[in-house]
Structure 1
Amino acid sequence: MRPENQRLADLLREDQDTILRGWTAEYHVYTGGRGLSQNLEAEQRAIIKALDTGLAADAEASNFDSPAWAALRETLAGVSSARAAQGETADVTSGFVLALKRPLFDGLQRHRGDVDGQIAVVWAASSIVDRMAQWTVSTYQKTREEIIVRQQHELLELSTPVIKLWDGVLAVPVIGTLDSSRAQIVMETLLERLVNTGAELAIIDITGVPTVDTLVAQHLMKTVTAIRLMGAESIISGIRPQIAQTIVHLGIDLQGIITKSTLADALATAMRMTGHTVTRAV
């Protein structure tokens, strides 16, 4: 084993409690008391154990992607992901790892060796902790991105509800811009509800869509085609005069698709198509 790795491993085993106390104190100073996890000591002990495993395998700090550091990477990823899910910031999360440097240096100072050996072990300790912090931030960013993507998907689903009006008839009020990802959500959700409810007619209301261009029209056409393949019919409502003119100017062919200017007209048409009538109560 490299001498610097041996000295670090010995330090972790002999002075672990002292290092833990120094780590906590340094982290408290760094954060000003913010972001002190309830599982702080458990996280610290897990990291030290994984660090000791890497040192025992004589891993190189410059090759942090090596299998010898696998346990440490996995432990750091777990800590980072948990903190990201709890809403902690990236700087507090990386600061937690970097706070380990000071107690390690203090421990090495208490157990001084020859000058050359001391320089090598200090450099090794600094390099390892730096790589640990880099890995932690990278994992944190990845986790946050995954959370953001999941939340965006959930918001898209909430923004395109499929409503059952009565037996056999569904409605999808679309509000806002209809881009590719949202159009895909609309299609998937609507088709799934068609299967689950056995509905024969779907009303797609675009009153809340500010503009209709070629891309939006294509999304609507694909949705209507998919509905037909499921054995159902569809009505597009909310075709305002401006939208009608835009569709004509773009040369978009909506032949064979039932369109209505208002949702009320679409509802009346849906009732006729499903054999329902409305009579005024006397």
Structure 2
Amino acid sequence: MTTLTQRTIDVIRKNEADLQANWTASLEATGASRDARVTAIDIDNQTREFIRLLASNARVGDTSISGNDWSETRTFLERLSRSRALQGFDSQATASFIFSLKRPLFDLLQVEYAADPNELVAQMWAISELLDALGMHTIRTFQKSREEVIARQQEELLELSTPVVKLWDGVLALPMIGTLDSQRTQVVMESLLQRIVETGAEIAIIDITGVPTVDTLVAQHLLKTVTAIRLMGADAIISGVRPQIAQTIVHLGLDLQGIVTKSNLADALALALKRSGFTVSKV
């Protein structure tokens, strides 16, 4: 494996300012520095910091970035990747920021090793391997950061898609829209039970008008939610049981005995008010 020489490391350290200027110019030429999501000040700080770390962490004969010598550089790249992920950049643009340093470094080495073409090729290859490793570390961190962002957004969407609404004193409603799965059922139970505790509600209405189909799995999730509501000392009513869903439940042989169901939310609310001691009449 081709390795870095002390001469290469020294020339990088002596020309940090010129390297940064050429790198910034390269980014400007490709339009990367004109992206509205990142400021010119950020670009300047990031390029200066990375070149400083590259010059200080490089060691003779070492192109591996897994050692302790490169810990500070890895931390910088991880921080850069997370910020780019949050700003909406893709992995290619993030990695290209690191790979774009190759040309300024190659130009510097061409001047330094002009009289020794064989050593020039060797050191260009060593620098290329080093930047490739740093770029791949950036991509791995970026992908992990994006996965964390997506997971957090999915959780937020789940919470938004399962709002708990207070219909009356002591009466809560949970309109369900979309398919029920294990993860969503858990979010539903947590948010609904928390609202029962906060409001002291005695009746919770689960409206499944927006649930497209009910199969054995969905029914089991509903039963779990109803059981959890009852354990909290409240009653549960399931509304939005359309004829198609009723037929499906019968065909599947699902046991929903003991669970009060209504065809629509209005009927469920009327029942909840009646249980609460209220009557509704026209003026």
TM-score (norm 1): 0.92
Cα 1:198–1:4 change in 2 (3 A) is same
Is 1:47 the counterpart of 2:31? The answer is: no
The CA deviation at 1:121 is 2.1
Is this contact kept in 1: 2:4–2:62, CA < 8 A?
Answer: no
Cα 1:35–1:131 change in 2 (3 A) is farther
The CA deviation at 1:151 is 1.0
The 3-state SS of whatever aligns with 1:65 is: coil
Paired position in structure 2 for 1:16: 16
Is 1:277 the counterpart of 2:267? The answer is: no
Gaps of 5+ in 1: none
Paired position in structure 1 for 2:136: 134
Cα 1:170–1:14 change in 2 (3 A) is same
After superposition, give the CA deviation of every residue in 1:135-184 in whole Å (9 maximum; x if it has no partner).
11111111111111111111111111000111111000111111222222
The CA deviation at 1:66 is 2.3
Gaps of 5+ in 2: none
Is this contact kept in 1: 2:3–2:62, CA < 8 A?
Answer: no
Paired position in structure 2 for 1:205: 207
Work out the CA distance in 1 between the residues paired with 2:45 and 2:158.
38
What percent of counterpart residues are identical? 53
Paired position in structure 1 for 2:73: 72
Q: Which is further off, 254-263 or 26-35?
A: 26-35
The 3-state SS of whatever aligns with 1:206 is: strand
Cα 1:157–1:9 change in 2 (3 A) is same
The CA deviation at 1:74 is 0.9
The CA deviation at 1:185 is 1.2
Is this contact kept in 2: 1:236–1:260, CA < 8 A?
Answer: yes
What is the letter of the counterpart of residue 252 of structure 2?
L
What is the letter of the counterpart of residue 254 of structure 1?
L
Determine which of 250, 253, 273 is the counterpart of 1:251: 253
Cα 1:194–1:59 change in 2 (3 A) is farther
The 3-state SS of whatever aligns with 1:253 is: coil
The CA deviation at 1:32 is 6.2
Query: How large is the Cα RMSD of the aligned pairs?
Result: 1.9
The 3-state SS of whatever aligns with 1:72 is: helix
Work out the CA distance in 1 between the residues paired with 2:44 and 2:32.
18
TM-score (norm 2): 0.92
Paired position in structure 2 for 1:196: 198
Is this contact kept in 1: 2:170–2:203, CA < 8 A?
Answer: yes
Is this contact kept in 2: 1:174–1:204, CA < 8 A?
Answer: yes
Which aligned pairs between 1:147-186 and structure 2 lie closer than 5 A? 147-186=149-188
The CA deviation at 1:188 is 1.0
